[in-house]
Structure 1
C-alpha cells in the first residue's frame, strides 16, 4: 500500500510535467505558425503573382519601419505646397517607387495589400459583387466608430445606408441651410473679434462643423454635444497613436496598457453622453413637444429603433454607433476639407480672387441661397 501510494506520488508530478511540456510545445508551434510560417508562405505566394514588398519582420512586420519613416518625414522642413504626400504617407511614396503601384506590407503578422492603381481602386470601392469584404473592426477603431455604417456590410449596411440617404437627400439638405447659415454667422462674428490678429482656422472650423452637425443632425447646440466631440477627439488621438503598435491576440484581456484603460473610459463616457441626447429626444416625443421623434438624422434613427417591423428595426448599439460615426466622421472630414481649401486659396490668390468675384456677383452682400449656390462655377472648381 505504502509502495503503491509512494509510486503514485512520484508518478503524478511526472505526468503533469509531460502535460506542461506538451502544452508549451504546442503553444510555441502555434505562435511560430502565426508569426513566421504563415507570413513567410503568404509573402512567397504573392511574389509568384508579381506582388512584392518590404520583407516581413518577426512580430512587428513593417510597423517599425513605417513609424521611423513618418518620424523622419515630420522632421524635414515643409514648404508652402499642397504636395504633402511625402510627409503624410512617406512609406507608400517610397515603396511604390521600389515595388510598383501595388505592393504587400505587414501590420504585425497581418498582410496588407496596398493598391494605388486607379482602375483597381475604382473596382474595389465600387464592389458591385461584394467580393471585397470589410475587415472586422477591433481595438481602438471599434471603440471609436463601433460597427456603424462605415464598418458594417451586407444587410445591416444596406439598412443603415438607407437611413442616411433619407436623412441627407437634396430636399433635407435644403432644409438644413438656415441652421448652417446661423452657425456660419456665429463663426464670422468670432473672426471679426480677432481682426488684425493671427487666427487658427482649423480650430475655428472645428467649432463651426461641430455646431452645424449638432444643429442639423441632432437638433441640439454645440454646447450639448461638446463633451461628445471632445471625448471623440481624445479617443481618435489614442487610435492614431496606437495604429502601428501590433498586439498579440488575447494579451489585452490580461494586460491593459494605460491607453487601453483610457480608451475604455472614453468609450463609456461617449456612450453615456449620446444616451442622454437620445433619452432627451424620446422624452420630448412622449410629452408631445416633437412631431414624433423629429425628421433629422437622430429622429430617423429613433424611428428605426422603435420600428414594429423587426427586419427594419435597429438596436440600441446600432443607434449609438451611428451617432458616434456621424459626430466624429462628419466633423473631422468636413473640418479638414474646409481648412485645406482655405490653405490652397491662400497659396493661389488668383483662384481666391476669382471665387470671391463670382460670389459677390451672384449674392452681393446677401446670404447665399440654394438656387444661387447651384449656379456657382469657379467656386465649385476651387
Structure 2
C-alpha cells in the first residue's frame, strides 16, 4: 500500500510539474526571450493569455464608428490595432498559452513564405478544424508536396477555360432572377452576401462535380452549415477538451462530417469507375482523380497517390476556398462600388466598350480584356482580404535578425500589411484601384506588401479560378444593372472564419436605361 501511495504521489507530482511547465514556465521563458529582442505586447496571464483583453477591448471599441469607412481594423480586432499603433512592426499576442508574433516587414514576410526547408510550417489543426476543412491548405512537408503536385493540374489555365460554361450558366441564372425582380418594380433590394454565397456554391458544385451537380449542391449546403458550427466552436477553442464532449454542436458537426464523407465517397467511386473505363470529364473532381491515377501509375506505387479520405478532404477544401472566399470578394466589391459610384461607372463603361450593348463575356480570354474590373477586384482584396496567414516554429529558428523560440506562431495580418503607409502611402485608407494599373504596379516598393492569395511556393492554387469567376460575375452585373447601398445597409465588417459584413449587404439594383437584352450565353 505504501508503495502504491508513493507511486501515486510521484505521478501526481510529475503531472503537476508538467502542467506548471506548460501554463507558466514555458510561456514566461518565451515572453522573456521575445522581450529581449524588442518584441512586446500585453503581459502573459496564466492559461488565458490575452483573451480577456481581447474581449474587453472588443466590448469597448468594437462598435465605435471609424473615422474612414475603410479603416476597419479598430472594429474587427481592437487589440491588434492597439498593439500595432503602439509597437508599429512586431509584437506578441497570447492566445491562451500560445504566443503569436505579428510580422509586418515585407522582407521578413517574404522570408517566411518563400521558405522551402520547412522552418515555418502551418500550425497543426485542431479537431474542430478537421471536421470543417483541412486538405492542401493545412498540410506540411512531404504530404503537402504530394497533394500540391496532384492538385495543380486541375487548376491549369487551359483546364480552367473548359470550366467557363459552368461559370456562365450559374451567373446567368442569378442575373436572370435579378432582372425579373427589377423589371417588375424598376428597382429591387437584394442581400448580396446571401446571393453570392448561392452563386459561388452553385459554381463550385457544377465546376467540381459536373453531372453530379445536385449532389454537389447538397454538399455545398452541408458545408455552409458546418462553417457556421465551426465558428461557434471557436468560442471555446482555448478549452480543447470540449471537442471530446457530446455537445449539441459537436454531435451535429460529426454528423455532417459523416454525411458529407458518405456523399463524396459515392461520387468519387462512381467517377473512378468511369475513368477506368476510359471516360473522362474535365471538371475539378475528374481532373483531380485523373492526376492522382497518373501519379500512382508513373511511380508504380499506390502510396504515391492520395487515399479516398485525402480526396474527400480536398473536395471539402474546394468548397471552402471556392465558395466562401469568392463570395466575400464579390460582396465587398458590390459594397465598395456602391460607395464609390465613379468607379462603378468607369467599370461599366469598360464592359460596354469591350463587349458592346448585346454581348457579355463568355470565355476566359474575354475576361483578360477587363483591365479596370481587374484593378477594382485587386483593390478590394487589399482593403477587405478574407483572412490572414499564420505559420509556426517547431524549433528555435532565425528570422532576419530575430531568433524565435520553438512553439511561436507567426501572424502576417493582411489587414495591417495592406494598410502600411510606408508601403502604400498616406492615402492607404482610400479606395484607389489605380494602384493596380500596370504602371503603378511597377513602382510598388515591395510586392510582399500585398498577398491576398499568399506568396511563394504555397500561393493559393485556386487564385485564377476565383479571379475568373469574380470578373465574369461583375461584368454581367455591370452590363445589366446600376446599384447603390440600401438605406438599411450598416458598414460593420467583422472577422468570422472570413471577413464578412455583420448585418449582410443589402444593395438596391436599378434597371439600366436602354438595356433590354437578357444575360445569355454567347
Normalised to the residue count of structure 1, the TM-score between the two structures is 0.87
Match of 2:92 in 1: 104
Match of 1:57 in 2: 45
1:346 pairs with one of 315, 338, 341: 338
Pick closer, same or farther for the CA change 1:37–1:244 going to 2, 3 Å: farther
Match of 1:140 in 2: 128
Pick closer, same or farther for the CA change 1:16–1:154 going to 2, 3 Å: closer
2:111 pairs with one of 120, 123, 143: 123
Higher strand residue share: 2
In 2, Cα distance between the equivalents of 1:81 and 1:277? 45
1:50 Cα deviation after fit: 1.2
1:285 Cα deviation after fit: 4.4
Match of 1:191 in 2: 178
1:119 Cα deviation after fit: 2.6
Match of 2:417 in 1: none
Deviations 1:184-214 (A, max 9, x none): 1100012123222210011111111111111
Deviations 1:296-345 (A, max 9, x none): 22113323454333253111111011001111121111110011111111
Larger relative contact order, structure 1 or 2 (CA cutoff 8 Å, min sep 6): 2
Answer yes or no: is the 8 Å Cα contact 1:82–1:344 preserved in 2. Answer: no
1:222 Cα deviation after fit: 5.1
1:35 Cα deviation after fit: 0.4
Match of 1:218 in 2: 209
Say which SS state the counterpart of residue 113 (structure 1) adopts: strand
Match of 1:86 in 2: 74
Instruction: Out of 175-184 and 14-23, give the one that drifted further.
Output: 14-23
1:238 pairs with one of 221, 229, 234: 229
Deviations 1:227-273 (A, max 9, x none): 32222222222333333534456x35864443333322222222122
Pick closer, same or farther for the CA change 1:292–1:204 going to 2, 3 Å: same
Answer yes or no: is the 8 Å Cα contact 1:305–1:315 preserved in 2. Answer: no
Answer yes or no: is the 8 Å Cα contact 2:54–2:79 preserved in 1. Answer: yes
In 1, Cα distance between the equivalents of 2:45 and 2:352? 58
Asked if 1:113 is matched to 2:101, the reply is yes
Match of 1:366 in 2: 359
Asked if 1:314 is matched to 2:306, the reply is yes
Say which SS state the counterpart of residue 28 (structure 1) adopts: helix
Larger Rg: 1
Match of 1:173 in 2: 160
In 1, Cα distance between the equivalents of 2:66 and 2:204? 33
In 2, Cα distance between the equivalents of 1:29 and 1:94? 35
Say which SS state the counterpart of residue 92 (structure 2) adopts: strand
Pairing 1:62-77 to 2, within 5 Å after superposition = 62-77=50-65
In 2, Cα distance between the equivalents of 1:182 and 1:359? 19
Match of 1:274 in 2: 264
User: What runs of 5+ residues in structure 2 fail to find an aligned partner?
Assistant: 377-522
Deviations 1:212-231 (A, max 9, x none): 11111221465322332222
In 1, Cα distance between the equivalents of 2:283 and 2:49? 45
Match of 2:372 in 1: 378
In 2, Cα distance between the equivalents of 1:335 and 1:212? 11
Pairing 1:143-154 to 2, within 5 Å after superposition = 143-146=131-134, 148-154=135-141
Match of 2:146 in 1: 159
Pick closer, same or farther for the CA change 1:255–1:378 going to 2, 3 Å: closer
Answer yes or no: is the 8 Å Cα contact 1:61–1:106 preserved in 2. Answer: yes
In 2, Cα distance between the equivalents of 1:15 and 1:105? 45
Instruction: Out of 103-112 and 62-71, give the one that drifted further.
Output: 62-71
Instruction: Out of 211-220 and 39-48, give the one that drifted further.
Output: 211-220
Pick closer, same or farther for the CA change 1:236–1:258 going to 2, 3 Å: same
Say which SS state the counterpart of residue 242 (structure 1) adopts: helix
Answer yes or no: is the 8 Å Cα contact 2:92–2:99 preserved in 1. Answer: yes
Instruction: Out of 76-85 and 337-346, give the one that drifted further.
Output: 76-85
Asked if 1:42 is matched to 2:36, the reply is no
Answer yes or no: is the 8 Å Cα contact 2:226–2:256 preserved in 1. Answer: yes
Pick closer, same or farther for the CA change 1:51–1:128 going to 2, 3 Å: same
Answer yes or no: is the 8 Å Cα contact 1:211–1:221 preserved in 2. Answer: no
Pick closer, same or farther for the CA change 1:343–1:79 going to 2, 3 Å: farther
In 2, Cα distance between the equivalents of 1:379 and 1:166? 27
1:166 Cα deviation after fit: 1.1
Asked if 1:332 is matched to 2:319, the reply is no
Answer yes or no: is the 8 Å Cα contact 2:128–2:243 preserved in 1. Answer: no
Pick closer, same or farther for the CA change 1:66–1:335 going to 2, 3 Å: same
Pick closer, same or farther for the CA change 1:73–1:160 going to 2, 3 Å: farther
1:352 Cα deviation after fit: 0.6
- Measured on the aligned residues, the alpha-carbon RMSD in Å equals 2.4
In 1, Cα distance between the equivalents of 2:178 and 2:346? 23
1:109 Cα deviation after fit: 1.0
Deviations 1:2-37 (A, max 9, x none): xxxxxxxxxx2x443333333222221111110011
